[in-house]
Amino acid sequence: MKKAYNFNAGPCVLPKSAIAAGVEALNDFKGSGMSVIEISHRSKDWEAVMTECDTLWRELLHIPDNYRILFLGGGASMQFLMVPYNLMERKAAYLETGVWAKKAFTEARLLGGDAVVKVASSADRNFSYIPKGYEIPRDADYFHITTNNTIYGTEIHEDYDSPALLVADMSSDIMSRPVDVSKYGLIYGGAQKNVGTAGVTFVIVREDILGRVSRPLPTMLDYRTHIKNGSMFNTPPVFPILIMNETLKWIKAQGGVEGIHRQNVEKATLLYDEIDRNKLFVGTAAQEDRSLMNICFVMNHEYADKEDAFLTFAKERGMVGIKGHRSVGGFRASTYNACPTESVEALIACMQEFEKTIV
């Protein structure tokens, strides 16, 4: 097989053990003689997977008993609507730190209009930092944040103490670091960045915050529908959930979220140190807000004409997915949980080798 160092921003690199288990289940799920994509989602074998996945989420993130975990379709983008539908009665507050945070705000405004307020934004510097020093309105039904910004390479590294109910899109950094779930009313995200493949969305919600809005809720948009039916009101995305379950097993085997976090810090430190050392490159995010998941950098201005040459050079050496988003340019290395240190070291060697050909 061709050697590839996968830095794609999503879908993410997956543990080889999860892929192998998925292949096996596609051929024959638990000795049933049927593929996992053929079985009844009401069967005992499948219900056991759902139960195990819920248990692993609770164990790895130390989720309190009064929270429910849902496995839904629609991606994080569907949550941009479901969150305000279920939680906003009078007012909602949003922190704008990137494209996805902006989309969440825009979707909420379709429902709440001017009652949806933007408390702060980093758009003035192309989302290269996390805003600070703003005031969260105490009368807001909830305060929404996006903890990691895949396009711009910034990340919120702490669990905020919010006077309003805290809601977080953690699509791209869930399970990458310890999180105090009790500080949040609701956490959601697409699985395809860190905990599986595209097709399933996780929602962690404190049950007592639901049922407080006066508006009638469409059945499929009501979190209580999915809680009542164990995420199986309609047929769940069985294969993505199976891959998620296998990925969580792998995380547990790495020493849990705490062990994974140590690995992520090590990988990010190695690459950021090289970016800061190498004359050809410069990081784009404020140092105190640099993401552990999406490491963004550009050519130093005096070598700006070498960008395409470096991309070609890196591709020839097996680097995949390092071209930066079109709104930022430059390069982006996504070092998600399953990205091995070997890949980061290979990229660093590539950067150093290219430097020698230029400087």
d(CA 201, CA 223): 13
* b/e 276-305 (16+ beta carbons within 10 angstroms → b): eebebbebbbeeebbbbbbbbbbbeeebee
Which of these is catalytic: 100, 141, 222, 289? Answer: 100
Written in H, E and C, the secondary structure of 152-201 is CCEECCCCCCCCCCEEEECCCCCCCCCCCHHHCCEEEEEHHHCCCCCCCE
Any idea how long the chain is?
359
100 is catalytic: yes
Give the tokens for residue 7. 């830095």
Helices (H), the chain: 16-27, 44-61, 75-87, 99-112, 223-228, 238-253, 256-277, 307-316, 341-358
Q: How far apart are CA 214 and CA 224, in angstroms?
A: 15
Q: Are strands 294-299 and 319-320 parallel, antiparallel or unpaired?
A: unpaired
Burial class of residue 157 (count of CB atoms within 10 Å of its CB; 0-12, 13-18, 19+): middle
For this structure, is 3 an active site residue?
no
Q: Which of 23, 73, 71, 11 is nearest to 336 (CA)?
A: 11
Catalytic residue among 46, 54, 57, 169: 169
Q: Tokens 């591709």 identify what position?
A: 315
Identify whether 193 is a catalytic site residue: yes
Residue 267 sits at φ, ψ, to 5 deg, of -65, -50
| Residues marked as catalytic | 100, 169, 193
